[in-house]
Amino acid sequence: MSDNKLSHVDERNQPTMVDVGAKEVTSRSAVAQAVVYLPDAVVAAVTGDDAENKDIQSKKGPVFQTAIIAGTMAAKKTHELIPFCHPLGLERCRINIELTGAQAVITCEVAVHHKTGVEMEALTGANVAALTIYDMCKALSHDIVIGDVMLLSKTGGKSDYVAK
């Protein structure tokens, strides 16, 4: 931020929700990413010989389809998880998961017309999708790593952002 002041701290240095009452409603969007690093043994066990398979299967069911649903549900409930997030009626939440080698790359794109942005919703959706993949594959290995969680871009509000 340009004024080097945290947005969720008031003049008495106490935590507070940002007042968006005077802000203008604009179109806002955000894209976030998380990467799940799967051990080779997990990839081999869940994909088998079907290289064209767009999802992986565990004993719990279709991993990516379940992760997409969980991530979408989480994005919609971000305000219930992060104390100072405003409740938003999301207009779009798209989660994509691509398995490339031993990496499941998750992107979560969220959009809304509102007075506040959706970065936290996109980050929450990507994270919960990653946690769901971990949960569904942990019976095969606990050597699964979730990483590279980041905001890729945001539009709307005071400024746009694109990760370098």
Cα separation of 15 and 77, whole Å?
Answer: 21
121 band by pLDDT with thresholds 50, 70 and 90: very high
Which pLDDT does position 2 carry in this prediction? Answer: 46
Domain-embedded: residue 49 = yes
Residues noted as catalytic: 135
Which pLDDT does position 117 carry in this prediction? Answer: 81
Domain-embedded: residue 74 = yes
Domain-embedded: residue 37 = yes
| Of 54 and 15, more confident | 15
| Predicted confidence (pLDDT) per residue in 82-106, tens digit | 988 889 999 999 999 999 889 999 9
What is the number of structural domains in the chain? 1
| Predicted confidence (pLDDT) per residue in 1-35, tens digit | 445 566 667 777 777 767 666 778 889 999 999 99
pTM here?
A: 0.85
Residues facing 36 on adjacent strands:
104, 146
The encoded tokens of residue 121 equal: 């919703």
120 band by pLDDT with thresholds 50, 70 and 90: very high
Cα separation of 9 and 151, whole Å?
Answer: 22
Which single residue is written with the structure tokens 């490339």? Answer: 100
CATH number at residue 149: 3.30.70.640
Domain-embedded: residue 111 = yes
| Predicted confidence (pLDDT) per residue in 27-51, tens digit | 999 999 999 999 988 888 777 655 4
* Average pLDDT rounded to a whole number, residues 56-72: 87
